Amino acid sequence: MSIESLVHKIIEDARKVCSQIEQKALGEVKTCEDMAEREVQVILDTAKERAARSLVGRKQRMISMAELEDRKETLYMKQSLIEEAFSGAMRKILSFDGDAYGAFLSRLILQANPEGDEEIILNQRDRDRFGENGWIRGLNQKLLENKKKGKMRIADETRSIQGGAILRRGRKEINCSLESVIDSKRNELETIVVGILFEDSE
């Protein structure tokens, strides 16, 4: 075989080898591309799942926060209405005319179960109303009918209370002020008020 033929054959063999190498490389590249695509898809799917879970979590948190705010707003509204109910009751009592308020005041004092010889401390408005009008005589008469001493008198001193009275006997005082009476019965009265205000809202 001549040198030219030998060189030609070597070149042809080299071309075949190069072609085989190229085809193998292309196959490996395709395999790598497929693997890369699958990995990218896995990454994308994972990211989508994480994003979906994150969105669901955020949605749940937003719903929970909205529900919490709604409960807080409802509670605030109920408390405001309850407070207004108590304030309205107090305003109603304080708006009674002289006879009606005097009867209410007598009943308040009698419910305190006094000895019957206490001083009655009022606010300035009530002292001006009842200091000279015979109300105390009617109260003492009721005390006598209840087997009490019937010797109560209105004190010269006044107190800063909205209504009601404070009974003083020596160093002992019984707080029958309107504020104190309502506060002492607040839990009991709140149950009643809530039932009236919100019986149809549940």
Q: What is the pLDDT of residue 59?
A: 67
Instruction: Write the Ramachandran bin of 9: left for phi over 0, alpha for psi from -120 to 50, otherwise beta.
Output: alpha
Higher pLDDT pick, 31 / 151: 151
Is pTM beyond 0.85? Reply is no
Mean predicted confidence (pLDDT) in 105-131: 92
What is the model's pLDDT at position 133? 73
Q: Which pLDDT tens digit goes with each residue over 35-67?
A: 656 665 666 667 667 766 766 677 677 777 777
> What's the pLDDT tens digit per position in 148-200?
999 999 999 999 999 999 999 999 999 999 988 888 877 776 777 667 666 65
pLDDT of amino acid 184: 81
**pLDDT single digits (tens) 60-113:** 777 777 777 777 777 677 777 777 777 887 888 888 888 899 999 999 999 999
The mean pLDDT value for 118-129 works out to 94
Residue 3 — pLDDT band, cuts 50, 70, 90? very low
179, 87 contact by CB (below 8 A) = no
Higher pLDDT, 138 or 202: 138
Can you give the pLDDT at residue 40? Answer: 57
Name the residue among 122, 131, 127, 119 with its Cα closest to residue 170.
119
